[in-house]
A and B are shown apart, each in its own frame.
Chain A
Amino acid sequence: MRTLFFITLLLYAIAVALEFAGTAFKKDKLLRGAWYVFLAAFALHTAFIVARGIVARRLPLSNQFEFACAFAWGVALMLIVMRPRLKSDWLSVIAMPATLLVMVYTSLQPMEIRDLMPALRSAWFGVHIGSAVLSYSAFVIAGSISLRYLLAVKKQSADERTLAQMDYLSYRMVAFGFLFLTVVILSGAIWAEQAWSAFWTWDPKEVWALITWIIYAVYLHLRLRGGRRGAFTAWYLVIAVPVVFFTFAGVNTFMHGLHTYG
């Protein structure tokens, strides 16, 4: 199983290298190769998650390794789902490295399979953590699109329509992620009431999920009501990604709370 994981990681790394080379030298063959390697990595990644779930006999989402692995899978999935909808592929060069980055973080976490602790044995487990995977992945993709937008503006390498499409897609990803982050927070509250007797305990993970929610709520207001678009909101979404990573990994690393499951 460990071998499968590291082969997946290696394939993602090869895909990123090919993507960078293809972009730098403007070689379509390399870019196509990068995409096929990325798809192969994703297939192995999926197989690894399924196999781990079968071995553990539960959803493989219970600790930092499993969550990070699913997070990387979510980022890759969103890229795969979105790519055919784009007229030209301007997203892979950012989203592939983002997937690799999360996979590298995953590889640094303890990998052993543990029995699910009693507090995690709940019907809300899949809803709460599955939604977090989708939400964080969507925010990372939104940040990736925004970064690509800023690069395109700087290099003047995209027409107005493509820029508008990037801007709109980043907004759609935030809307998707925001819905699921809300599901994370609300399902977590209901679950917390069952497990710990209170809907809200101001636990660091809860608070940082709320902070992330506020950050994206402000973005949505600025964009939908304030009419802010373009470079301003792109910068905003790029800067918001580290907050998502902190909520996902930083809180568990630097702060102690009820969500510290290892």
Chain B
Amino acid sequence: MKKVFRYLRSMRFGILLLCLIGVCSVAGTVIPQGREIGWYAQAYRSFHGVILALRLNRVFESWYFIALLVLLCLNLSLCSLLRIHRVVRGAKTEAARAAALPDAVLLRPEGVEKLRARLEDMRCRREEIDGVSVYRKHGFGRYGSFVIHLSILLTVVFGALALYTPTVTDRACMPGEFILLPDGTEIHVLDFRINDETGRLDYQSHVQVTLPDGRRSGIEELRVNHPFSFGGYKLFQQSFGTAGSVTVTALDTGGTDDFLLTEPAFLSADGRTGIYFQTLYPDFIRDPSGNVTLITVTEGSYPNPIYQIEVIADGTFTPSLAEPGKSLELTGLRFDFNAPVEYPGLRIKHVSQLVNGLLVAAFALMIAGLYLAFFLEPVLVKVDAAGYAVGGAKPERMRVELGEDFREYERKEGTQAT
């Protein structure tokens, strides 16, 4: 049992877990994730059985990947506890242990003086122990590794909470209308535009949120990279669409109906005669002989939209095109094709701001830990009349730097100090 526990907290196990997470991650990027099962059968033929059996089509949601993350958390927890215990215990005695070190490098007297001056310049704290000087600095740097491991643990835990606990809904909403959420919250979309004042792409909505208890937000602008939070909801500008707009007027009564069309629809009074809306194209080119070439993809707002329809009358289907501003009359109905309406697709996320805040705090802790570990390494140098030795948990930096800078003052063992 003790052996298992020792292995679970070991660096060897941590590295093994990291490697396995890395291997799974490679598989997760090489094999497209989350496609239909049939797609894998077609793309990988005889291998698709293996892919599905090993859940390589959904690696990051597979039980073994989650198990690896849980084991990593366990390893980090045990390792962090052990580490902090060792570091705190070691910190109490490190000066005395450094003072007892034999000189690793022997220096001529002028070298010793220069070394002392250099360490004073570095603002190291000097302590006299048993007749030798111990210079210390950046003692808190020793906690760097512990802080990094702790922050990774917190990142995995809060990251999992931030990823898997929010409820996310994607909803499209026409300007002037509102989205009603199951708890009674209303999200009113007041307007939407695709291009800003200068014509640059910038998807902007103005929204207002009303909570079930009657609290209401101000009118807020929603843009990509600028989400808006209110009452536990966070709204994102996620996508956009362009809807066809057709006004149908009954010629005998003068009554009208406005239709916003995002998918094929049959507009008719009697179910037999009318127009069948197929789609809306963003642009077209009409040549001198009147032939139209439809353009399916443009960037931003539709520059020159055109409706593709079929006119259905007396059992005949006549394909046709209609530009905004045109009208069509059919057995008592007039169809007015209006300018298309742009609408936003909103992502509505019910999220805990506390979890998000804790996750960002864990990120900050990780950066601080890395800085402590790699850029504020503890300095612990023992100096006596004959030379010096570098001690502490991370002696390499000072060994290399002092070794380079005081090379010219070094002397070999057995030679005179003067």
Contacts and interface: CB of A to CB of B under 8 A. Distances in A.
Given A197-B227, A221-B14, A221-B15, A115 B201 contact: yes
Nearest to A171: B396
Contacts of B371: 179
A200 B356 CA distance: 12
Nearest to B155: A186
A59 B104 CA distance: 50
Nearest to B403: A161
Consensus secondary structure, chain B interface: helix
Given A122-B225, A214-B21, A186 B11 contact: no
A253 to B, nearest CB: 13
A118 B15 contact: no
Nearest to B158: A199
Interface stretch (A64-72, A145-153, A187-195): A187-195
Contacts of B370: 178-179, 182
A179 B15 contact: no
B363 A178 contact: no
Given A176-B374, A197-B238, A119 B224 contact: yes
A199 B225 contact: no
Interface stretch (A14-22, A33-41, A42-50, A204-212): A204-212
Instruction: Categorize the interface residue count of chain A.
Output: 35 or more
A217 B18 contact: yes
Interface in B128-168: 159, 162-163, 168
B356 A119 contact: no
Contacts of A207: 25, 28-29
A123 B1 CA distance: 51
B359 interface: yes
A226 interface: yes
A185 B370 CA distance: 14
Contacts of B407: 161
Contacts of B375: 175, 179
Nearest to A200: B163
A182 B373 CA distance: 14
A117 interface: yes
Contacts of B374: 175-176, 178-179
Contacts of B33: 202
B227 A211 contact: no
Interface string B22-39: 100110110001000000
Contact of B18 (A115, A202, A214, A225): A214
Interface string B384-416: 000000000010110010011001000000000
A118 to B, nearest CB: 4
A87 B60 CA distance: 48
A222 B11 CA distance: 9
A88 B189 CA distance: 66
Contacts of A117: 201
A82 interface: no
Nearest to B227: A194
A200 to B, nearest CB: 6
A186 B400 contact: no
A191 B226 CA distance: 10
B269 interface: no
Interface of B: 11, 14-15, 18-19, 21-22, 25-26, 28-29, 33, 60, 159, 162-163, 168, 200-203, 223-227, 234, 236, 238, 347, 349, 356, 359-360, 363, 366-367, 370-371, 373-375, 394, 396-397, 400, 403-404, 407
Interface of A: 87, 115, 117-119, 121-122, 161, 164-165, 168, 171-172, 175-176, 178-179, 182-183, 186, 189-191, 193-200, 202, 204, 207-208, 210-211, 214-215, 217-218, 221-222, 224-226, 251, 255
9 interchain residue pairs of minimum CB distance: A175-B374, A118-B224, A186-B363, A204-B29, A122-B225, A214-B22, A197-B236, A168-B400, A179-B370
5 contacts: A179-B367, A191-B225, A197-B238, A207-B25, A251-B29
